[in-house]
Amino acid sequence: MQLNPALETKKDIRSLTLDELKKVFVENGDQAFRAKQVYEWLWKKSATSFDLMTNLSKATRELLDKNFVINAVKVDDMQISSDRTIKNAFKLYDSNIVEGVLIPTPNRMTACISSQVGCSLTCKFCATGKLERLRNLNADEIYDQVVLIKNQAEEKYKTPLSNIVYMGMGEPLLNYKNVMDSIQKITSPEGLNMSPQRITVSTAGVSKMIMKLADDGAKFNLALSLHAANDKKRNYIMPINESNSLEALAEALKYFYEKTETRVTYEYIAFKDFNDSLEDAKELAAFCKHIPCKVNIIEYNPIDDGEFQQTTNERLDAFAKFLENKNIIVNVRRSRGKDIDAACGQLANKNKEGFVTRKMKVVK
């Protein structure tokens, strides 16, 4: 295997396809099946070093180590909530930090994972939206979050990971290729072999990419962070709506449903005296008529600036009841992990002392 000794930096081996790996071995006088062995170690067994690849000769392992690198994600910090939720600060190969959360409930173990370092969408109610987007995560970095959280579920709670939600830091559909590649590795029999029906990708609403999901035959679930069903209010809290209006989103969602026949989930955070009235519920019910859907009403988790507040239980219940009376499937989601800033909208790379950590710049 005569790889270029002049290379100053090692290539990330997980950026290679199986065919590219085969080419590396064949062109350097080895057997093509070596590539399949390495690929299995990387994606099925989640190996983080070449030394673990024990069915390869020592010489082959040393050669791989000399020319390639496995940029494994590491747990830099871990906090456990009083409700057993675990928040992780994951350290990437370039020392950037993203967060991922293990959410245990009686019926499921869910990994909430990130797709970008920071976020560019500046949603007013979200702590992550106040951070600068530094870069997209690679597919292997997304995959590693799942593996690490999966291991935590098994080691700490003796329960297998059951669900994955792309609802952490970043907008998944603005990192489309890497997100799709990560899902392929997670669901493939050559990878973690998890069912795509156990995966939900959440978007703030990128219309053209929702349509691309449909064209690409997405098998996983789609959730839309809606939070307001009229353009004026949604423009105010989610600037992305100015270029992806509710009308455009409705057309994209119709296209998605026609192609996939998959029911979409609308996520709706209820803010006190902003979007929690019966008139707001009426507007949401009208939007729900476009396609078969369900609504997750989410308890708001206040962030540092305090512009929005949590609605009352009475208004939340009345809002949900109005939708149910319109024959809409409604789930009210109570937040978990609030005491460690692990709840929905709170991921902002804060450490145990409450300070933003490592390389993450706050956007003023």
The verdict on 65 and 78 lying in the same domain is no
**Domain assignment present for 332:** yes
CA distance 175 to 259: 22
Question: Which residue is listed with tokens 């070449």?
Answer: 50
Residue 353 lies in a domain: no
Q: What is the mean pLDDT of residues 83-102?
A: 96
Percentage of residues in the chain with pLDDT exceeding 70? 88
Same domain, 201 and 59: no
Q: Which domain holds residue 45?
A: 11-69
Is 351 inside a domain boundary? no
- Confirm whether 30 is domain-assigned: yes
Out of 99, 141, 171, 299, which one is annotated catalytic?
99
Catalytic status, residue 99: yes
Residue 3 makes CB contacts below 8 A (sequence gap 6+) with 24, 28, 63, 66, 67
Q: What are phi and psi of 251, to 5 degrees?
A: -65, -40
Does the residue 354 lie in any domain?
no
Number of domains in the chain: 2
Q: Are residues 234 and 284 in the same domain?
A: yes
Same domain as 141, residue 250 = yes
Burial classification of residue 273, based on how many CB atoms lie within 10 Å of its CB (0-12 exposed, 13-18 middle, 19 or more buried):
exposed
The confidence band for 349, taking pLDDT boundaries of 50, 70 and 90, is low
Is residue 26 domain-shared with residue 162, that is, in the same domain?
no
> Is 123 one of the annotated active-site residues of the chain?
no
Per mean pLDDT, which range of 24-33, 80-89, 156-165, 233-242 is the poorest? 24-33
Q: With bands split at pLDDT 50, 70 and 90, how would you rate the model's confidence at 345?
A: very low
Give the per-residue pLDDT at 361.
Answer: 41
Q: What is the mean pLDDT of the chain?
A: 90
Q: Are 262 and 243 found together in one domain?
A: yes
> Do 78 and 65 reside in the same domain of the chain?
no
Tokens of 202: 């959440």
Note whether 163 and 250 are same-domain residues: yes
Domain containing residue 55: CATH number: 1.10.150.530
Q: Are 154 and 288 in the same domain?
A: yes
Of the residues 112, 119, 126, 344, only one is catalytic, namely: 344
Nearest to 18 by CA among 216, 217, 187, 185: 185
Alpha-carbon span 272 to 292, nearest angstrom: 28
Please tell me whether residues 30 and 121 are part of one structural domain. Answer: no
Whether the pLDDT of residue 353 is over 50: the answer is no
347 pLDDT band, cuts 50/70/90, is: very low
Tell me the three state secondary structure of residue 353.
Answer: coil
Q: How confident is the model at residue 300 (pLDDT cuts 50, 70, 90)?
A: confident
